[in-house]
Amino acid sequence: MTDLGHSSGSAAADLNQRQFLIFSLGSEEYAIDILKVQEIRGYDNVTRIANAPAFIKGVTNLRGVIVPIVDLRLRFALDSAEYNNQTVVIVVNVGQRVIGIVVDSVSDVMALLPEQIKPAPDFGVTLSSDYLSGLGSVGDRMLVLVDIERLLSNEEMALVEQLDGNS
């Protein structure tokens, strides 16, 4: 009887959990909703696009689909890093688009309960935190939860569409 109660409580907790893919940029850990992730690939050379912003590394052909590749370090205005064998591209579905984001490495998939997610801090107008959906706290780990839908502005998404159309 107790086991049933525990199981139903555990099942309820499972329903409230959200799964995140954990990746790193430098010493910081970030997380995106696993439901947005299509696949994870090693970084391959991309085809550069003239006049594209620096954070758009170019495009790649992924099984017949032209995928813009965004360097998340450059998008977040972090120091650039050398790409190595740990560098990966997380292919995500954003709206009706497929975009690859370059990160330093992927570590794991983690489930977070609502009480482990805190609201994103407000930095005012000096620093945009529009792409942050919150901060996840797991033990002594702090995860920056990225809202991939808001990561690119409407103008940047229009540019991505233009790149997709020109390729």
Q: What would the pLDDT profile of 27-55 be if each residue is shown by its tens digit?
A: 999 999 999 999 999 999 899 988 888 88
- Looking at residue 54, the DSSP 8-state letter turns out to be T
Residue 100 CA neighbour count, 13 Å, CB half: 25
Report the chain (167 residues): mean pLDDT per 10 consecutive residues: 47 77 94 95 91 88 91 88 93 88 95 90 58 88 88 66 58
Are the C-beta atoms of 90 and 103 separated by less than 8 Å? yes
Q: What would the pLDDT profile of 121-139 be if each residue is shown by its tens digit?
A: 765 544 456 778 889 998 8
Of 60, 130, 73, 64, give the one whose Cα is nearest residue 100.
60
Give me the domains of the chain, ranges plus CATH numbers: 18-162 (2.40.50.180)
pTM score? 0.81
